[in-house]
Amino acid sequence: MVSLQLDANPHLCGLCSFPLFSWIIFKSFRHLQSVYDNVKLPESCMTLTKVFLLLSEVFLSRSSRSDGLLRRSTRCTADTFKSGLQMFSRFTKLALLGLEKSSFIYTHDMISSCGLSDDDIQIGFLKPISHYDTCGTLATYEFLHVTLQSFLAAFCLVLDPNISPDEILKFFSKCEYRRTSHLICLSCLGMSSHQRNSDPFQTNEHFQFTNLFLCGLLSKSSAVLLEHLVPPALLRKKRKALKSYLSSSIKTHLSGLPRHPSTDIKGNKVHVMPNFLWMLRCIFETHSEDVARLTAKGISADYLKLAYCNIYSADCSALNFVLHHHRKCLAVDLDNNNISDYGVKQLVPSFSKMTVVRFCVNQLTDSSVEVLASELIKHKIIQVLGLYKNHITDIGAKLVAQIIVECPHLRTVKLGCNRITSVGATFLAEAIQKSSVIFDVGMWGNSIGDDGAHAFAEAIKNHKSLTNLSLSANGITSEGGMSLARALTLNCSLHIFWLIQNNISDDAAVELAKAFQKNSALTHLM
């Protein structure tokens, strides 16, 4: 049941991952502060790679045999890794062996075959998961967390001189046809691999994370450490191979997807697969502007549909990292994800390119609308704005009204199922009345009532461009219905008008029917 809930709800899944990584960071710094005098929390962004580098540093520092005085000396991450490199390399080989053999569980013999001793096991990378056998030895172990195994496996791909630059890319091929994408599975709840009913290797999360960590380890930000552990020439070759692959991966991915004519704008639409998101995460983990720029050049579609991809707010940083390099205008559909207000802020540099902004069903509040208003009014290229099923109030509605007035190309606005009352509806109706290009407005599922209906009645009188309007499920009574009926007799543009699920009585319904007969343009009144 828990597994099904995590798969179905990305919000729950996020609750599992973020506390885990926060716990790793603060526990690690608490340990390092007890060992060294000069440890401070980082001021820069903590990528996932940095989180697990930090955890590894803690484990390796435990293996130090320094006396108490030296343990209070200046912290040097490179020295810690160099002093424990031999043992650390063995752990990385064990992790890679598990991925290659499709196993998260290791016997004592497998561990010994990689040169790890019983003392090494106590460092912290591994944890026991079975009872003692007849010889008094723990039979099986697993890594502290499945993502730790992926991190160490990626480290092995970088460290091992016997692994060629081309071979480090081998796990990317296993992730080309992903069907699902979740950041963390049941392992984030602390459950052991052997406790799960399904085989963890039925998904490819571990391969995706291995690729992600590979990108982080070969990034420029990790070079200061890696240059102490890997021959510089080999490191450059592996970095070059990864850069070449990533810069062409998006283009290859998009070229293999079917394209459809867009109904919102002129051009073709591509509905990307979840693997596209993992590619963006990998590119962001490299922090290479060159790779991001080359990737952006590979996006030839006019419309990117990323709906239902389980995109989190943090993923918007990765998306923006590539999209803000895109030279042409682009339509972006992020409906039905979990980007929240934080994610909208991360996308600010990319709004200058977006002609379509669809953020429906994304936990957005008025704070996001404030950001959108500032950016969209600044650039004035927006054509479609989709914000239905969020948490937008009258404050946000007033900001959307400003967007409608200030953006001369805005033709479609979807604000259904928010928290807009007659106050917000009045602002919107007045803005719509001023617009000469808007033709589709969705306001269903709000609470505009009769006052809001009166405002929209004024807006549709003699309007030249509005063809589609939905005011369904808005608490409108016969009073509002009568007002709308009178307005329809003065309108020649409206084709489709939705009024179902309101409280309109028979007398108002009769007037609406008469208006329908008089209005030759109106084809659907529901």
Bridge partner residues of 414 (DSSP): 386, 442
Q: Would you state the pLDDT for residue 353?
A: 95
Instruction: Give yes or no for a contact between 351 and 326, defined as CB atoms under 8 angstroms apart.
Output: no
Q: Is the pLDDT of residue 31 over 50?
A: yes
**Helix count and strand count (H, E) for the chain:** 21, 14
Q: Would you state the pLDDT for residue 42?
A: 54
Q: Would you state the pLDDT for residue 518?
A: 82
Residues 247-269: what's their mean pLDDT?
80
Sign of CA pseudo-dihedral 197, 203, 205, 211: positive
User: pLDDT-based confidence at 268, cuts 50/70/90?
Assistant: confident
Distance of CA 116 to the CA centre of its chain: 38
Instruction: Give yes or no for a contact between 249 and 285, defined as CB atoms under 8 angstroms apart.
Output: no
* Structure-token pair, residue 20: 């885990």
User: pLDDT-based confidence at 68, cuts 50/70/90?
Assistant: very low
Q: Is the pLDDT of residue 70 over 60?
A: no
The runs of H, that is alpha helices, within 191-307 are 205-217, 220-226, 232-255, 274-286, 289-297
Q: Is the pLDDT of residue 389 over 90?
A: yes
In order of 225, 314, 364, the CA distances from 344 in angstroms are: 33, 10, 8
Q: Is the pLDDT of residue 67 over 60?
A: no
What's the rounded Cα separation, in Å, for the pair 517 and 144? 71
If one compares 507 and 256, the residue with the highest pLDDT of the two is 507
Residues 443-447: what's their mean pLDDT?
97
Q: Would you state the pLDDT for residue 480?
A: 95
Q: Does domain 385-526 have CATH number 3.30.460.80?
A: no
Q: Would you state the pLDDT for residue 503?
A: 93
Instruction: Give yes or no for a contact between 384 and 407, defined as CB atoms under 8 angstroms apart.
Output: no
Mean pLDDT lowest for which of 5-9, 265-269, 463-467? 5-9
Instruction: Give yes or no for a contact between 261 and 269, defined as CB atoms under 8 angstroms apart.
Output: yes
Complete DSSP assignment for 160-206:
-TTS-TTGGGTTGGGGTT-S---S--GGGGT--GGG-SS-GGGS-HH
Give tens-digit pLDDT for 159-183.
999 999 999 999 988 876 444 444 4
- Give me Rg for the CA atoms of the chain: 28
Residues 408-421: what's their mean pLDDT?
98
Q: Is the pLDDT of residue 44 over 80?
A: no
Residues 480-487: what's their mean pLDDT?
94
* Structure-token pair, residue 124: 């912290």
Q: Is the pLDDT of residue 9 over 70?
A: no
Percent of the chain residues past pLDDT 70, beyond the cut: 82
Q: Is the pLDDT of residue 190 over 70?
A: no
What's the rounded Cα separation, in Å, for the pair 158 and 56? 15
Tell me which residue of 277, 282, 278 sits closest to 292, measured CA to CA. Answer: 282
User: pLDDT-based confidence at 426, cuts 50/70/90?
Assistant: very high
Q: Would you state the pLDDT for residue 384?
A: 98
- The sheet with strand 354-358 has its strands ordered as 259-261, 268-271, 303-305, 330-333, 354-358, 384-386, 412-414, 440-442, 468-470, 496-498, 524-525
Residue range(s) occupied by CATH 3.80.10.10 in the chain = 385-526
Instruction: Give yes or no for a contact between 216 and 47, defined as CB atoms under 8 angstroms apart.
Output: yes
Q: Would you state the pLDDT for residue 15?
A: 46
Residues 185-206: what's their mean pLDDT?
46
Q: Is the pLDDT of residue 237 over 90?
A: yes
What's the rounded Cα separation, in Å, for the pair 101 and 257? 31
Question: Dihedrals φ, ψ of 132, to 5°?
Answer: -65, 145
Q: Where is 71: in which H helix or E strand?
A: none
Q: Where is 88: in which H helix or E strand?
A: helix 85-100
Q: Would you state the pLDDT for residue 300?
A: 85
Q: Is the pLDDT of residue 146 over 80?
A: yes
Q: Would you state the pLDDT for residue 224?
A: 87
Q: Are strands 468-470 and 496-498 parallel, antiparallel or unpaired?
A: parallel
Query: What is the Cβ-side half-sphere exposure of residue 459, based on CA atoms within 13 angstroms?
Result: 29
Sign of CA pseudo-dihedral 10, 12, 17, 18: positive
Give tens-digit pLDDT for 312-339.
888 999 999 999 999 999 999 999 999 9
Instruction: Give yes or no for a contact between 22 and 259, defined as CB atoms under 8 angstroms apart.
Output: no
Q: Is the pLDDT of residue 37 over 70?
A: no
Q: Is the pLDDT of residue 293 over 50?
A: yes
- The sheet with strand 140-143 has its strands ordered as 106-107, 140-143, 126-128
Q: Is the pLDDT of residue 132 over 70?
A: no
User: pLDDT-based confidence at 45, cuts 50/70/90?
Assistant: low
Residues 337-366: what's their mean pLDDT?
96
* Residues 6 or more apart in contact with residue 386 via CB below 8 angstroms: 333, 335, 356, 357, 358, 359, 360, 412, 414
What's the rounded Cα separation, in Å, for the pair 233 and 239? 10
Residues 141-168: what's their mean pLDDT?
92
Q: Is the pLDDT of residue 509 over 50?
A: yes
Overall residue count recorded for the chain in this entry: 526
Instruction: Give yes or no for a contact between 331 and 323, defined as CB atoms under 8 angstroms apart.
Output: no
Q: Is the pLDDT of residue 361 over 50?
A: yes
Q: Is the pLDDT of residue 468 over 50?
A: yes
